[in-house]
Chain A
Amino acid sequence: DSGVTQTPKHLITATGQRVTLRCSPRSGDLSVYWYQQSLDQGLQFLIQYYNGEERAKGNILERFSAQQFPDLHSELNLSSLELGDSALYFCASSQSTGARMGGYTFGSGTRLTVV
């Protein structure tokens, strides 16, 4: 157990639907990051939150949105799902941000399959 909790572990849904992925960061970590991992595509940065505020956006589609709540857990909302959205979605957390960030702690991921 890495300390970062992601739910659900698996999700199968139809095209056009909307899903919500949830992440609880490791205790004490203020930064939360979302990454998408497609087959042979590595880890693509989607979005970053720090202590409740959005810090940076990566290659996140307009159909996707996220937020971090006061208790620091985060949710990634994916809407109007397409077949190409099928991927592993990882949440990671770190104590701080910037130069003192240190390593990420990743959750076990949510495998999304769009059919």
Chain B
Amino acid sequence: GQQVMQIPQYQHVQEGEDFTTYCNSSTTLSNIQWYKQRPGGHPVFLIQLVKSGEVKKQKRLTFQFGEAKKNSSLHITATQTTDVGTYFCAGPNYGGSQGNLIFGKGTKLSVKP
């Protein structure tokens, strides 16, 4: 079945260092979404990428959708302690016809002050 994989599973960084998480899908995606879940919290929608090769920025966060629309990445520049949490990518299931999402297992980011 359709799979969405993320690496790494865990990342520990020193505050101020950069961080990148990668997402790969077994199938071509019509779009990809990113979510952040703080410890003890619920996932919060960050962004949706739709176009091949699309790059979007939100302050220190840069999101990229691959040319083949099967992979994506999230890069955080100069991490802060507020960036702590688990970052999930998600792609539409059933080719997007139904609307539900398949989530990757997430990358858990810890930031040492």
**Chain A interface (Cβ within 8 Å of chain B)?**
2, 31, 33, 35, 40-43, 45, 48, 50, 55-56, 58, 90, 92, 94, 96-99, 101-109
Chain B: interface residue count, which band?
20 to 34
In the assembled complex, the Cα of A56 lies from the Cα of B93 at a distance in Å of 10
Does B16 count as interface, using CB distance less than 8 angstroms? Answer: no
* A94→B99 contact, CB < 8 A: yes
User: Cβ of B106: which chain A residues have Cβ within 8 Å of it?
Assistant: 42
Q: Quick one: given A42-B106, A45-B93, are A56 and B45 in contact (CB under 8 Å)?
A: no
Instruction: Note all chain B residues with C-beta closer than 8 A to A35.
Output: 103
List B18-41 residues whose CB lies under 8 Å from chain A.
30-31, 33, 35, 41
Cβ-defined contact, B102 with A45, below 8 A: yes
